[in-house]
Amino acid sequence: MSDRFHAAPDPGAPHPKAAPPPKVPDPGAPVLEMRSIVKTFPGVRALSDVSLTVARGEVHAICGENGAGKSTLMKVLSGVHPHGSYEGEVLFQGEPCAFKDIRASEARGIVIIHQELALVPYLSIAENIFLGNEHATRGVISWHETLLHASRLLKRVGLSEHPGTRVADIGVGKQQLVEIAKALSKEVKLLILDEPTAALNDDDSAHLLDLILELKEQGITSIVISHKLNEIAAVADSVTVIRDGRTIETLDVRDPATSEDRIIRAMVGRDLDHRFPDRTPHPGDPGAEPALEVRGWTVHHPIDQQRKVVDDVSLRVRRGEIVGIAGLMGAGRTELAMSLFGRSYGRNISGSVHKDGREIRTRTVPEAVGHGIAYVTEDRKQYGLNLIDSIARNITTAALGKVSRRGVVDEHEERRVAESYRRSMNIKTPTVFEQVGRLSGGNQQKVVLSKWIFAGPDVLILDEPTRGIDVGAKYEIYTVIDQLAAQGKAVVFISSELPELLGMCDRIYTMAAGRLTGEVSRAEATQEVLMRHMTTDKR
């Protein structure tokens, strides 16, 4: 008999053992459970008995003050902190997880998008999407298949760019969407977004939030870490509050009792009756010369030198005054600030800068610092801090002469200075010799402010000083700014958050397309008035 014919089974023979059917997740069970997670670093316990339950198909927000442990918890979940480096249990789709690295969690469909995007700027969009997960046969990449698949993913996230476009040639908002397309390419089931809108403008933020809701409709569960409570209200179903490394509570966002004040109270452990300190303006003698006066300031783009990014701007700030600058993205606020601070930005700069009635030269950063001008950049990680150096060295770096003798840094004095700022600024760290890169965003911002306060400036330019910082840390920084003004410092306050400008400033200038379009007093300022000026191009 041909061996392609088989004899009938013997009815007396034992029945072969059938393979068990694949386990089907219970649709009513949570997609994720993290039970009693404890994570310790040298000298500090970052997480202490944290538990989290996320329902299938929901958008679950996590909020808390900077340093509360939110990002650490997500790094435990995604395998950045591998199994064995923490205590507790993680269950995904009902099964225990022991991820040894991030590739292991991605293989299960858990993908995390960090606040600092992990894209290679000089590779194309398509190359970034499939980096480490290439469409290849025997080591040869199929570019046709790569571009075709990338185009489908870009369409799914609402990006019209060609997949061959370099990532460096698109904005941060679009880069965030590329990261989500990359997650979708890995058949994501649980998407974790860490402060996804921190660096985005209002339009890009709205588009991203809409996309999160669209992904929810497609059955993808999301965890969103955010300080922006209005965004949590817009997209989240539930919110878990973490404070000091512990789970405080989980709230139903749809419950009318879950107000912003309710969440803030859970975050900071107390009622925050006022978002801003009670401000009593202390401007100097109205007859005195302004501490800072800028006249006819014009700045051209560093590459396209025919284009003016700051056009004939004139402004003044008196001692003891907090003066805001409002404007939409691209209005020229940061370009103005950087060009004033030692011409750090731009070409063909013209105009004049006057301090206490006397014209000064600020052609370089040391010249600007020497004239008592300090600039707190909006990008603290790239321009404000040395992330691999200590807190102590970062605090003293702008005024090393104050802690040096005959050109040699006195380390005992440097430590004493750093310790005084650690206490006065409430920088949460076990030691001032901790690397700044290991601090939370809010504590990093306090280090930047400490650095420039120690330099002893007369004029302090603050560019988005509370970006990416929780409400509790914001209040602390607002209090410091208010104290600086009370000491007679002249403060220029640049912010994209209109309530912040209204709550902190004595006067507010508005900008659009590089030009000043209005000047509004504290008494007259409302969000509507500011927005009207910000959208008017007086050319």
In DSSP terms, which residues pair with 409 in a beta bridge?
A: 404
Q: What integer pLDDT is reported at residue 229 of this predicted model?
A: 85
Structure tokens at 457: 């400036």
Q: What integer pLDDT is reported at residue 133 of this predicted model?
A: 81
Higher-confidence position of 263 and 201: 263
Euclidean distance between CA atoms 237 and 232, whole angstroms: 8
Centroid of chain to Cα 413: 33
Q: What integer pLDDT is reported at residue 200 of this predicted model?
A: 74
Structure tokens at 443: 């504590």
User: What distances in angstroms separate CA 62 from CA 145, 256, 294, 333, one per listed residue?
Assistant: 37, 19, 44, 32
**Residue 64 pLDDT greater than 60, yes or no:** yes
Write the pLDDT tens digit of every residue in 78-128.
999 999 999 999 999 999 999 999 999 999 999 998 877 789 999 999 999
Which band of pLDDT confidence, cut at 50, 70 and 90, is reported for residue 244?
confident
**Residue 537 pLDDT greater than 70, yes or no:** no
Torsion 253-256-259-263 (CA) sign: negative
Q: What integer pLDDT is reported at residue 285 of this predicted model?
A: 65
DSSP single-letter state for residue 292: E
Which band of pLDDT confidence, cut at 50, 70 and 90, is reported for residue 227?
confident
Around 414, how many Cα atoms within 13 Å sit in the side-chain half-sphere?
Answer: 21
Write the pLDDT tens digit of every residue in 193-214.
988 887 677 778 888 899 999 9
Q: What is the mean pLDDT of residues 237-253?
A: 92
Euclidean distance between CA atoms 37 and 240, whole angstroms: 15
Q: What integer pLDDT is reported at residue 359 of this predicted model?
A: 95
Write the pLDDT tens digit of every residue in 156-183.
888 889 999 999 898 888 888 999 999 8
Higher-confidence position of 475 and 274: 475
**Residue 375 pLDDT greater than 90, yes or no:** yes
The number of beta carbons lying within 10 Å of the beta carbon of residue 118 is 11
Write the pLDDT tens digit of every residue in 312-325.
999 999 999 999 99
Structural domains in the chain plus CATH codes: 32-268 (3.40.50.300), 292-534 (3.40.50.300)
Write the pLDDT tens digit of every residue in 5-50.
333 444 444 444 454 554 555 556 899 999 999 999 876 788 998 9
Give me the helices (H) in 29-108, please.
70-78, 102-107
Q: What integer pLDDT is reported at residue 4 of this predicted model?
A: 33
